[in-house]
Structure 1
Amino acid sequence: MRNDWRVRAKAVALTAATALTAAAVLGGAAAPKASAATAVSVTVNGTAGLGTIPSGAVGLNTAVYDSNMNDTPIPGLLKAAGINALRYPGGSYSDIYNWQTNVAQGGYDAPNTSFANFMGTAQAAAASPIITVNYGTGTPALAASWVQNANVTNKYGISYWEVGNEVYGNGTYGANWETDAHCQTSSGTPVTVGSEPSQTYGCGPAVYANNVLSYMSAMKAASANAHVCAVLTTPGGWPDNVTNPQTSPLPWNQTVLTALGSKTDCVIVHYYPGGSGAAGMLTDTSDISGITSTLHSEISQYAKVDPATVPILVTETNSNVDMDTQPNALFAADMYMTWLENGVANVDWWDEHNGPGTNPPSVVDGAQDYGDYGIFSSGGNNSGVTEPAVETPFGPYYGIEMLSKLGGPGDTMVNSTSSNALVRVHAVRRAGGNLDLLIDNEDPGNPYTVNLAYNGFTPAGSPTVFTFANNGNSITSATQSSASSVTVAPYTLTVVQVPGSGGGGVTAPGAPGQPTVSGLSSSTSGNSSGIATLTWPAATPGTYPVADYQVYQQSSGGGSTLVGTTSATTLNLSGLTIGAGYTYDVVAVDSHGNPSLPSPPVTFTVPPPADASCAVHYAISSSWSGGFGAGITVTNRAATAVNGWTLTYSWPDSGEAVQSGWNGTWSQSGSAVTVASAAWNGTIAAAGGSVSVGFNGTDTGQDPAPTVFSLNGTVCANN
C-alpha cells in the first residue's frame, strides 16, 4: 500500500481486526424532513478558562508522494482556513524517507516534494513545520543533519521533531505496516542497541526507547531548542494495553516513558476513531478527555515528570466515515477544539491530498462522498465516479475553516455546556473583548433554537453569525440583533461572534499566567485533610492597576465557584479530599472592577498521606486488548501486626472491572473494589511486613491506576 499514494499507507487504524478495512465508507441514510426548531440551552462560563489556543495548533499532513503538495493555490487555501502547522514527509513514508536525497526507499517520491519545496509552501502559508525523522531505515546522524540544516543553516526554527511514525506497527504486536530495520534478523539474533543489548528479541518498545535517547542526544546537539518527540500508543486504541512476552512484556507506553524518564520531551499519538456510521463517529470525541487524562497520568507515573511540561501532539487524525461530506466537517471542528481544550499542543488532519478510496463511493445525505482522506480533491476516479477539479475543498476543509472564525493563537478557550448532546459547543474569548461560540448541530434532521446564557461575560452589541450549511461549498455570514439566541439548521456548523463589554477606551488587565501547585499533601487526620498552594505569574495591568485576583474552582459540569480573592499571586487551599481531582484558574480584577480573561487551568489530584501506617504498590503486570493484569502489594508500617485485613479502592475509569483475583476474596460493586484476606494470609507483620494480591481485569481501552487504597478503613500511602 505504501507505493500507492491514493490509498493512504497509514490507513491501518486503531484495532487489529479492522486494520485493513478502516477505509470503508458507510453512506449516511437520508435525513428525515426537518421539524420545527426545538429549544436548547447553552451556557458559556467566561471565568472557566481551558487555556489559550497554541501557536501552530491547527495542522495538516503533507506527503512526498503527493504531486499536488506544493501547487500554487495551496498556501492561500491553507491561510484562508487558518491552518497554521504542516507535518512532513508523510505518515509511514517517514520511516523510509531520506531527506538529503529526497528518496523514499521502496516508495514513490513525486516531483517538487523535497524538504526545500515543502518549506517554500510552509513559509508562504505561515505554517509551522512538524517533521517526522526517519526511524525505520534512518540513523541519529541523518536526523541530526536535518535539524542542523533546518534550524542552524536555514534558521527555520522548527520546534517539533518526531522520531518515527507509528513504530508500534513494526510487527511487535503482529500487525506489520511500519518499516523498521531495528527488528530481529530472520535467524532470531538478539538486537543490540548502542552499548546495551536488548532484553528481548525483536524490535519492541524497549529497543525503540533506547534508540529515541540516541536520536534525542544527536538532534539536540544540533539544536538545543528542538523538541524531540516519542511515539506513544493512543490510550484505548490498538495496540494500547497489548503485550508480547518476547518483545514487549509491558505495555508500549509504560516501557517507553520509563526508559525516557526525565528526558521525556514531547509525545505523539494518532487518533482514528471508527464508528459504524456517522452518528457513532460523531460521539467519539467524548473519549478525548479520557485519552489525555490517561496520557498525563502515564507521563507522571512512568516518566516521573510533571505532565504539564510535556507537550502532546496528535500528528494524524481523521474519521473513517463519510470522509468528504458534512458528517466529517462536523467531526473535524468538534474534534480539533476538544483536543485543544484538553491541553494538546497540535492536531494534524490526514491529509492534504489523498485520492479516492478503494471502496465504491457513496452518497451521504444527497452529497457525493469519495472515500478520500484529503481535504482537497486530487481529481481522481474510482468505480466510475470522478472527483471534482484538483484543489476543490471537501467538507472537512470548511469544518476546519470555521475554527478561524472562532479563535486564533493566544485566544482563551472557556467552558461551555449544552443541554442537548447532539448540539456540541465550544467557546473562545478574544483579547479584544468578544466571546465567540461554535455550535455543532450533529442532528441530520432537526433544527434547534439555541438559547444563550453567559457567566462572567456581558454581551454589548450585535453578533455576527457564520454558517457552514449542510452540503455547502462556502461559509456565509450575517448580522443579527440578538445575543441571547440563534437558530441552527440540521447538520450545520455555526460560529456566533458576540461583542463584549469594556468599551470607552478602558483596557482590562491581561490574563494571569499559568498557575502551578506546590505543597500538595494530606495527613492522617481525615479524608478532607488535603492542602496545596497555588501560585501564578502576575497579570499585566490595563488602564488601571490590578487590585485583586479571583481564584475559581471548576466543576465537571462546566460551572465554577469562587474559592478565594487575594491581592497576592498565591493562595493556600485546604479541606481537599484525598484522591479527588481539582481544577482551578485565576482572574485578575483591576481597581475599577474590570476583570481579565481567565488564566490557563491547573489540574491536580490530592495524594494520600505519605506518613500513613500502611503503603500500597500497584503495578500493571500484563495487558491485552480488552483486559489487563495487575499486582498489589500492601505493606504494614505500623508497630503492631495486622490480623485480618480488608483492602478497598475504586476504579477511576468506569470501564475497569475485576474479572478474577487471587490471594484474597475479591468483590466489586459499581466502581468500588473490596479484597478480603484469605485464611492463610490474614496476618501482616509489623514494621514492614507485606502481603501481595493480584487480579485479571477487563477494560474498555483505558486502565488508569486507582488513586486511593484503604486498609481496614485507613487510607494508605502510595508506594
Structure 2
Amino acid sequence: MSWIGAAILGATALAGVTAPPAQAATAVAVTVNATAGLGTIPSGAIGLNTAVYDSYMNDAPIPGLLKAAGINALRYPGGSYSDIYNWQTNVAQGGYDAPNTAFSNFMSTAQAAGTSPIITVNYGTGTPALAAAWVQNANVTNHYNIQYWEVGNEVYGNGTYGANWEADSHCTTSASGGPVTIGSEPNQTYNCGPSTYATGVLSYISAMKAVSSNIHVCAILTTPGFWPDNVTNPTTSPQSWNQTVLKALGSKTDCVIVHYYPGGSNAAGMLTDPTDISGIVSTLHSEIQQYAGVNPANVPILVTETNSTIDTDTQPAALFGADMYMSWLENGVVNVDWWDEHNGPGTNTPAVVAGVQDYGDYGIFSNGANNSGVTEPAVETPFAPYYAIELLTKLGAPGDTMVNTASGNALVKVHAVRRAGGSLSVLIENEDPSNSYTANLALNGFTPSGSPTLYTYANGGSSISSTTQSSASSVTVAPYSLTVIQIPGSGGTGATAPGAPGQPTVSNLSSSTSGNNTGTGTLSWTASAAGTYPVANYQVYQLGSGGGSTLVASPTGTTLNLSGLTIGASYTYNVVAVDTHGNPSLPSPPVTFTVPPPANSTCAVHYAISSSWPGGFGGSITLTNKGTSAINNWTLTFAWPATGEAVQSGWNGTWTQSGQNVTVTAASWNSTIAASGGTVSLGFNGTDTGLDPAPTAFFINGTVCANN
C-alpha cells in the first residue's frame, strides 16, 4: 500500500477528553499459564514503515521517539514506491522523493534509533543486479548487516487478478505503452502472473546471496483469507498465487511476506479481527510445507504492512495495534511493521471517536496538515497507536517468553510475558467503550511476591501513566484502555533454574487405516543448560484452548514417543526442564503439528480451492480409488476446520452439512469408482466468515483416505 501525505499546514492541540461517568466494574476471570510458552519475543519484532516521499522521515526528534516506543525495526523505502524506486539515484520513477530521504539518510536514522532495517528491493521496475548492488553497499561496503530483504511490494496487484496498482515492467504492454489489463487486449499475451514473479525471485535470490550469503531474501505471498488469496486466472495463474510461487521456489523458499489490513465495517468488528491471525499463520505453514516441501519452522514470516484502517488515530486503533502485534508474535511471526511513520490526514471529514478527534491519518506521527477542514496537531505529535506500541515495552522485551492466557470476556483481551528477570507482565485490554472490568487473575505456575506496578494508556491520553497496588490478584481496567501489570515473583526462572529447553520438533508422523486414533510421532528437543543443580527431568505439556495445558509425561531424556493421536487433529506441545531441587525452567517455544492420514490407504482425496470472493469460495474434490476392487455407492465425509465455513451448493453428488460435518453421497451416474486409479470429481461453492482452511482428513465409506 502507498498512502501519500499532503502538504504541511498549521497545527492545533488535541482537544481535551471528558471522562465518562464512573460505573461499577464487571468481574472477568483471566488465566495466565506461566508454563505454557508461546515462544520468545524476537529481536526486530516491533516494526514501522517509512517512505521516501515523507519529508519528515528523518527529523531530529524521530530517533528518540522511536527508541522510547521500543520500535526496533524500520522498513524502507515505502509501500508501492518500492517498485518504482532506484536506491542508487534516489529517484522514484513517476513519484516524488522528498529531500534527505536517500538510503544513507534512512540508515542514519535507523542506526540512531537502534533499529534493524528491512529493505524492499525494486522488483517492478528494477533488476536483480540493482538489488545485488544494494546488498553490496549495505552489508559489504558499510557493514550494516541487514538481514531481511523483500523482493517487491504487493506484486500480485500488478493486474494479474484485474486490479492494477503495483508497477511491474515484466507485464506485456499495450500499443500505448501502458500495462495490459486482463481482458482489455485479447490479442496480447499477459505475462505478469505468479510464475513470472517466482522466476524473478529466484534470480534475485541468486544475485543477492552471491553478495551476502547469510541474508534472507523474502517472497511476497497473498494473505490467507484476504483478496486475492486463492483467486485464479486461467491465462496467467491457473493455480493460486501462493501455490504457484511456493512450488517454484521449493527448497529456496527463504522467508515470506504478507500484509494485513483487516478493516471491518466498524471499530467493534475490527477489534475482533486479530482472532483470525492464528488461522492465517497455520495456513501459511501448511502451504509452505505442502507446496514448497520445506519445514515451515525454518521459513520466517514477516508482516511488513499493517494498520487498523478504521479510527486510525484514536483508541480503537491503539487497542487493535497492541492486540495485533502480540497475536502475530505469539504465533511465531518474526516481524510486524505498522503503516506508517508519517502519512498525512485523509480527505474525508474525520470523525470524533469516543470524545477524541480522528484525522484519518495512517501515520503514528502527525505532519500538521489539513486535508479535510480539521487541522492536525503539531508535527511529530504521536497518535494513539504510538502509545499502544510504547506500552508493549512494559510487557516484554526481545528474548522474553510469551505465555498462554485466557479471558472470560471477549471484550477483555489478554497477553502475558515471562520476563528474563523472573517477573510476569500481563497486558489487559478493555475494548468496551462504555464499561469498566475487574480482571481476577489466576496465575498458574507463578508465585507473586511484592507490589505490582500498573502502566496504563487511557482513552485520549498523551502519555502512559503508572501506579502501584498491593495485590496481584486483580486489576480494574477503565473503558477503552490498555493496562500492563508487572508482577514481581518467581516460578520458572531465577538464579538456580535451568535454561529453557529448545523448541521441540516432531518426526516420524504417521497413522494407519485401522482406526481414527492411530497417529504416532516422536517429539525431540534440545537439552536445557543446567543451573545451580542438574536437570532431573523434562515436563512435556499439551497446550489446549482457553489457556490451559496438560502434563502428559516427565521423561528424563530429550525425546518422547507419542501415540493414540487423532488423524487430522492438530496438537501443540512445549517442554519445561526441572532440576533436582524442583526448580522449573521457562517453557520452551511450542511446536504445533497436524496428524496426517495414512499414506498407504486404498483411497486418496485431492482438495483444491478454485476461486474466492468476500464471504465465499469455490472448490473441487477428486476421489481416487487406489485399491484393487471397485468402490460402489460411495459416501464422502469430512469436517470444515473453521466454524464459518459451509457448503452453499454442490454438484456431482448430494451434499448435506450438519454443524461443521459434511456428507456427500454419490449421484446415480458416478456411484462407482473404478479400481486401480479410477476417479470421481466433485465441486462446490461455499460461504465463509473469514478464512477457509482446507479439511485435514477425508473418509470414503468410513475409510480414511490419503491426501493426494
Where 1:541 maps in the other structure, the secondary structure is coil
- 2:559 counterpart of 1:576: no
Residue 6 of structure 2 aligns with which residue?
6
1:239-638 equivalence runs, <5 A: 239-501=228-490, 506-638=495-627
The 10-residue stretch of structure 1 (667-676 or 621-630) with the greater mean CA deviation from structure 2 = 621-630
Q: Amino acid of the residue matched to residue 683 of structure 2?
A: G
Q: How far does residue 31 in structure 1 lie from its aligned partner after superposition?
A: 8.8
Q: Measure, in 1, the Cα distance between the counterparts of 2:583 and 2:3.
A: 60
Q: Measure, in 2, the Cα distance between the counterparts of 1:421 and 1:504.
A: 31
Q: Measure, in 1, the Cα distance between the counterparts of 2:440 and 2:649.
A: 49
Deviations 1:590-628 (A, max 9, x none): 111010111000000111112222222223344444443
Q: Amino acid of the residue matched to residue 53 of structure 1?
A: I
Where 2:413 maps in the other structure, the secondary structure is strand
Q: Amino acid of the residue matched to residue 112 of structure 1?
A: N
Q: Measure, in 1, the Cα distance between the counterparts of 2:191 and 2:147.
A: 31
Whether contact under 8 Å (1:250, 1:622) holds in the other structure is: no
Deviations 1:94-149 (A, max 9, x none): 11100001111111111111111111111111100000001111011101110111
Whether contact under 8 Å (2:422, 2:493) holds in the other structure is: no
Residue 121 of structure 2 aligns with which residue?
133
Q: Flag the 1:119–1:579 CA change in 2: closer, same or farther, 3 A.
A: same
Q: How far does residue 547 in structure 1 lie from its aligned partner after superposition?
A: 0.9
Q: Measure, in 2, the Cα distance between the counterparts of 1:692 and 1:332.
A: 44
Q: Flag the 1:34–1:617 CA change in 2: closer, same or farther, 3 A.
A: same
Deviations 1:633-665 (A, max 9, x none): 322233332222111111112233333333322
Whether contact under 8 Å (1:467, 1:476) holds in the other structure is: yes
Whether contact under 8 Å (1:311, 1:345) holds in the other structure is: yes
Q: How far does residue 692 in structure 1 lie from its aligned partner after superposition?
A: 2.7
- 2:691 counterpart of 1:691: no
Deviations 1:417-436 (A, max 9, x none): 11111111000001211110
Q: Measure, in 1, the Cα distance between the counterparts of 2:491 and 2:325.
A: 30
Report the identity percentage: 79
Q: Amino acid of the residue matched to residue 499 of structure 2?
A: G
Where 1:513 maps in the other structure, the secondary structure is coil
TM-score between the two structures when normalised by the length of structure 2:
0.94
Q: Measure, in 2, the Cα distance between the counterparts of 1:637 and 1:331.
A: 49
Q: 1:70 aligns with which of 53, 58, 72?
A: 58
Q: Measure, in 1, the Cα distance between the counterparts of 2:493 and 2:375.
A: 56
Deviations 1:385-414 (A, max 9, x none): 222221111111000000000001111000
The 10-residue stretch of structure 1 (240-249 or 409-418) with the greater mean CA deviation from structure 2 = 240-249
Q: How far does residue 248 in structure 1 lie from its aligned partner after superposition?
A: 2.3
Whether contact under 8 Å (1:235, 1:701) holds in the other structure is: no
Q: Amino acid of the residue matched to residue 510 of structure 2?
A: S
Whether contact under 8 Å (2:445, 2:492) holds in the other structure is: no
Residue 15 of structure 1 aligns with which residue?
none
The 10-residue stretch of structure 1 (588-597 or 696-705) with the greater mean CA deviation from structure 2 = 696-705
Where 1:415 maps in the other structure, the secondary structure is strand
Q: Measure, in 2, the Cα distance between the counterparts of 1:182 and 1:577.
A: 47
Deviations 1:472-512 (A, max 9, x none): 11111111110101111111110000011269973311111
Deviations 1:176-198 (A, max 9, x none): 2111111112059999xxxxxxx
Residue 58 of structure 1 aligns with which residue?
46
Where 2:545 maps in the other structure, the secondary structure is coil
Q: Measure, in 1, the Cα distance between the counterparts of 2:218 and 2:361.
A: 29
The 10-residue stretch of structure 1 (450-459 or 32-41) with the greater mean CA deviation from structure 2 = 32-41
Q: 1:81 aligns with which of 45, 69, 73?
A: 69
Whether contact under 8 Å (1:30, 1:364) holds in the other structure is: no
Q: Flag the 1:188–1:103 CA change in 2: closer, same or farther, 3 A.
A: closer
Whether contact under 8 Å (2:521, 2:563) holds in the other structure is: yes
Whether contact under 8 Å (2:230, 2:609) holds in the other structure is: no
Where 2:405 maps in the other structure, the secondary structure is strand
Residue 671 of structure 2 aligns with which residue?
682
Where 1:357 maps in the other structure, the secondary structure is coil
Q: How far does residue 383 in structure 1 lie from its aligned partner after superposition?
A: 3.1
Q: 1:108 aligns with which of 88, 96, 100?
A: 96
Q: CA RMSD in A?
A: 2.2
Q: Amino acid of the residue matched to residue 334 of structure 1?
A: D
- Give the number of equivalent residue pairs: 692
Residue 13 of structure 1 aligns with which residue?
none
Q: How far does residue 670 in structure 1 lie from its aligned partner after superposition?
A: 2.0
Where 1:381 maps in the other structure, the secondary structure is coil
Q: Measure, in 2, the Cα distance between the counterparts of 1:236 and 1:472.
A: 35
Q: Measure, in 2, the Cα distance between the counterparts of 1:311 and 1:276.
A: 31
- 2:44 counterpart of 1:46: no
Q: Which runs of 5+ in 1 are unaligned?
A: 8-28, 192-198
Whether contact under 8 Å (1:132, 1:165) holds in the other structure is: yes
Where 1:109 maps in the other structure, the secondary structure is coil
Q: Amino acid of the residue matched to residue 252 of structure 2?
A: K
Q: 1:185 aligns with which of 154, 170, 173?
A: 173
Q: Flag the 1:504–1:367 CA change in 2: closer, same or farther, 3 A.
A: closer
Q: Measure, in 2, the Cα distance between the counterparts of 1:362 and 1:598.
A: 45
Q: 1:657 aligns with which of 641, 646, 650?
A: 646
Whether contact under 8 Å (1:253, 1:298) holds in the other structure is: yes
1:10-49 equivalence runs, <5 A: 33-49=21-37
Q: How far does residue 697 in structure 1 lie from its aligned partner after superposition?
A: 2.9
Q: Measure, in 1, the Cα distance between the counterparts of 2:55 and 2:22.
A: 42
Residue 80 of structure 2 aligns with which residue?
92
Where 2:237 maps in the other structure, the secondary structure is coil
Q: Measure, in 1, the Cα distance between the counterparts of 2:575 and 2:688.
A: 36
Q: Measure, in 2, the Cα distance between the counterparts of 1:6 and 1:556.
A: 46
Whether contact under 8 Å (1:249, 1:622) holds in the other structure is: no
Whether contact under 8 Å (1:250, 1:623) holds in the other structure is: no
Q: 1:151 aligns with which of 127, 139, 150?
A: 139
Whether contact under 8 Å (1:616, 1:634) holds in the other structure is: yes
Whether contact under 8 Å (1:376, 1:392) holds in the other structure is: yes
Q: Amino acid of the residue matched to residue 508 of structure 1?
A: A
Q: Flag the 1:501–1:655 CA change in 2: closer, same or farther, 3 A.
A: closer
Deviations 1:534-565 (A, max 9, x none): 00011111111111100000002210000000
Q: Measure, in 1, the Cα distance between the counterparts of 2:151 and 2:555.
A: 45
Deviations 1:572-592 (A, max 9, x none): 111111110000000000111
Q: How far does residue 3 in structure 1 lie from its aligned partner after superposition?
A: 9.7
Where 2:117 maps in the other structure, the secondary structure is strand
Q: Measure, in 2, the Cα distance between the counterparts of 1:150 and 1:283.
A: 40
Whether contact under 8 Å (1:554, 1:584) holds in the other structure is: yes
The 10-residue stretch of structure 1 (650-659 or 551-560) with the greater mean CA deviation from structure 2 = 650-659
Q: How far does residue 56 in structure 1 lie from its aligned partner after superposition?
A: 0.3
Residue 716 of structure 1 aligns with which residue?
705
Q: Measure, in 1, the Cα distance between the counterparts of 2:243 and 2:348.
A: 37
Q: How far does residue 698 in structure 1 lie from its aligned partner after superposition?
A: 3.1
Q: How far does residue 631 in structure 1 lie from its aligned partner after superposition?
A: 2.8
Q: Measure, in 1, the Cα distance between the counterparts of 2:665 and 2:519.
A: 28
Q: Measure, in 2, the Cα distance between the counterparts of 1:653 and 1:107.
A: 43
Q: Amino acid of the residue matched to residue 313 of structure 1?
A: L
- 2:214 counterpart of 1:220: no
Whether contact under 8 Å (1:282, 1:442) holds in the other structure is: yes
Q: Flag the 1:30–1:479 CA change in 2: closer, same or farther, 3 A.
A: closer
Q: How far does residue 55 in structure 1 lie from its aligned partner after superposition?
A: 0.6
The 10-residue stretch of structure 1 (628-637 or 511-520) with the greater mean CA deviation from structure 2 = 628-637
- 2:156 counterpart of 1:168: yes
Q: Measure, in 1, the Cα distance between the counterparts of 2:615 and 2:250.
A: 27
Where 1:143 maps in the other structure, the secondary structure is helix
Q: Flag the 1:410–1:465 CA change in 2: closer, same or farther, 3 A.
A: same
